[in-house]
Amino acid sequence: MPSPLFFLLLLSLSTLHCLTPTAAAKCHPDDEAGLLAFKSGITADPSAMLGSWKPGTDCCTWSGISCRVNNRVTTLSLYGQLDKPSSFLTGTISPSLSKLRYLDGIYFQNLRNVSGPFPSFIFLLPDMQYIYIENSKLSGPLPEAVGKLTRLGAFSVEGNRFSGKIPSSVSQLTEVTQLKLGGNLLTGAIPDGIRQLKKLTLLALDRNQLTGAIPDFFTSFANLRVLMLSHNRLSGQIPATVSALAPNLGYLELGHNSLTGQIPEFLGKFHALDTLDLSWNRFTGVVPKSFANLTKIFNLDLSHNLLTDPFPEMKVKGIESLDLSYNGFHLGTIPEWVTSSPIIYSLKLAKCGIKIKIDDWKPAETYFYDYIDLSENEISGSPVVLLNRTNYLVGFGASGNQLRFNLESLKFASTLKELDLSRNSVFGKVPKAVSGLNKLNVSHNHLCGRIPATKFPASAFVGNDCLCGSPLSPCKV
């Protein structure tokens, strides 16, 4: 039986072993050279993201690096923290990363200031499976050669400045489950070949300048859960094959396009749908009665379309955010399925033909509200009791109504940043508390007295009975 001394000896030997420089450089020299070349292509790293990348030390222990097979580098993950201004990298991606022969995943997220073209070193790495280069400043075209990366399981270059067309060769990426090209400057049509990507669970082409119709190719996507095409210039109708997504689709974003036609009846069969954004298009007609069956919908935005009455009575258990503003609705009241929601935090019903006394509106929950917009309705009374019941309100919009109350009795939640009460019958003085807001509009009311020191322009105060002082004319003493 070995003595305790033997173990002690073994322990000290192995510690010693770790300290000798030859054994410490455990990672492959090619990997170390490739990573150090990448580091030298970075000209600014104010948060020391690459601080641990030191020559002669084991590169498998550097931050952002993981090694699997034979101590070869397999993934490279660098994340900028969005809440820290200094958390970014400036520079370009060195082509020497092609030395990392076993690299199968690259995760560059929120590096913000890395620029240059699409990194072509990737084409020299046959094992590459996961590419996430998100929120940086890469630019130029997406090369046609991306189609050669047939092993890719995920491809994301979201939030860069890539321009030109989406290469038609993406049709060859048949293993991808996620294709994220959103937030670039891509133009042209959505390639029809995307229909070949049968494993997709997420397709995001939002926030580009894509034109043409949405291809009618959705029968092939049995697993699609998220479809984001918003903020483009897409036209035409919602294609019929979208109905094939009914069993699994949870998230559908088509807002800010030029889509026309009616909202299809089949959307009511999307039982897994929790988010639907069709805002800022030119949809006409009524919202299908089948929407009543969207019992799991949490976020519904149909604002800024040409939709007309009647709006269906929803059976949703609890809506979280709802925007029906600026259509042709005449709701009369705030619907009961909204008032009774225990989890609502955002309600926007501007220009929805609501004719109530706001004191009579008794929502089940007010605590979580961060936005309430009831502008351009025929709402009378005082919102003082309602706003006194909110704790996290960030914005309250009620311009163009018939509200009549003393502004000095309004409680300003510490979170409140935006208040628009223009074109009502608000009276009293402007309280000092408004100076903490980012946006204020109390124009065209019956306010009086000296305006406290604020940064707001005259147009935020004009049209009142007797307001005076900067930015309006001086008070008479």
Q: What tokens does 279 get?
A: 């805002």
**C-beta of 292 vs 448, nearer to ligand NAG:** 292
Query: Where does this chain touch ligand NAG (CB under 6 A) — which range of 69-77, 251-259, 339-347, 453-461?
Result: 453-461
Q: What tokens does 58 get?
A: 């084991």
> Which of 47, 90, 171, 425 is in the footprint of ligand NAG by CB under 6 A?
90
246 phi, psi to nearest 5 deg: -50, -45
How many CA within 13 A on the CB side of residue 88?
A: 16
Instruction: Tell me if 277 sits within 8 A of 253, measured CB to CB.
Output: yes
**C-beta of 158 vs 420, nearer to ligand NAG:** 420
Instruction: Tell me if 172 sits within 8 A of 166, measured CB to CB.
Output: no
Number of residues that bind ligand NAG (CB under 6 A): 20
> Which of 115, 163, 171, 248 is in the footprint of ligand NAG by CB under 6 A?
115
Instruction: Tell me if 100 sits within 8 A of 73, measured CB to CB.
Output: yes
Quick check: 136 binds ligand NAG (CB under 6 A)?
no
Quick check: 268 binds ligand NAG (CB under 6 A)?
yes
> Which of 75, 178, 232, 422 is in the footprint of ligand NAG by CB under 6 A?
422
Tell me the torsion sign for CA atoms 146, 147, 152, 154.
positive
Quick check: 47 binds ligand NAG (CB under 6 A)?
no
Residues 6+ apart with CB under 8 A from 421: 396, 398, 399, 403, 407, 441, 442, 445
150 phi, psi to nearest 5 deg: -70, -10
**What's the min distance (Å) between Cβ of 160 and ligand NAG?**
13
**C-beta of 155 vs 311, nearer to ligand NAG:** 311
Residues 6+ apart with CB under 8 A from 156: 131, 132, 133, 134, 178, 179, 180, 181
Query: Where does this chain touch ligand NAG (CB under 6 A) — which range of 57-65, 75-83, 316-324, 456-464?
Result: 456-464
Q: 299 in helix, strand or coil?
A: strand
Instruction: Tell me if 180 sits within 8 A of 204, measured CB to CB.
Output: yes
Quick check: 308 binds ligand NAG (CB under 6 A)?
no
Q: Which helix (H) or strand (E) holds 154?
A: strand 154-156
According to DSSP, the β-strands at 65-67 and 73-79 are antiparallel
**C-beta of 46 vs 212, nearer to ligand NAG:** 46
**C-beta of 85 vs 126, nearer to ligand NAG:** 85
**C-beta of 38 vs 217, nearer to ligand NAG:** 38
Query: Where does this chain touch ligand NAG (CB under 6 A) — which range of 220-228, 246-254, 335-343, 457-465?
Result: 457-465
> Which of 180, 256, 304, 423 is in the footprint of ligand NAG by CB under 6 A?
423
Tell me the torsion sign for CA atoms 342, 348, 354, 360.
positive
Residues 6+ apart with CB under 8 A from 5: none
CA 245 to centroid of chain Cα atoms: 22
Quick check: 459 binds ligand NAG (CB under 6 A)?
yes
Quick check: 321 binds ligand NAG (CB under 6 A)?
no
Q: Which helix (H) or strand (E) holds 9?
A: helix 4-19
**C-beta of 214 vs 300, nearer to ligand NAG:** 300
**What's the min distance (Å) between Cβ of 437 and ligand NAG?**
11
Quick check: 399 binds ligand NAG (CB under 6 A)?
yes
Quick check: 44 binds ligand NAG (CB under 6 A)?
yes
Binding mask 379-398 for ligand NAG (x = CB under 6 A): -----xx--x----------
> Which of 363, 460, 464, 467 is in the footprint of ligand NAG by CB under 6 A?
460
- 428-447 positions binding ligand NAG, by CB under 6 A: 441, 443
Rounded CA gap, 294 and 338, in Å?
14
- 330-389 positions binding ligand NAG, by CB under 6 A: 384-385, 388
Instruction: Tell me if 284 sits within 8 A of 260, measured CB to CB.
Output: yes
**C-beta of 147 vs 469, nearer to ligand NAG:** 469
Quick check: 48 binds ligand NAG (CB under 6 A)?
no
> Binding residues for ligand NAG, per CB under 6 A?
44, 90, 113, 115, 268, 289-290, 292-293, 384-385, 388, 399, 422-423, 441, 443, 457, 459-460
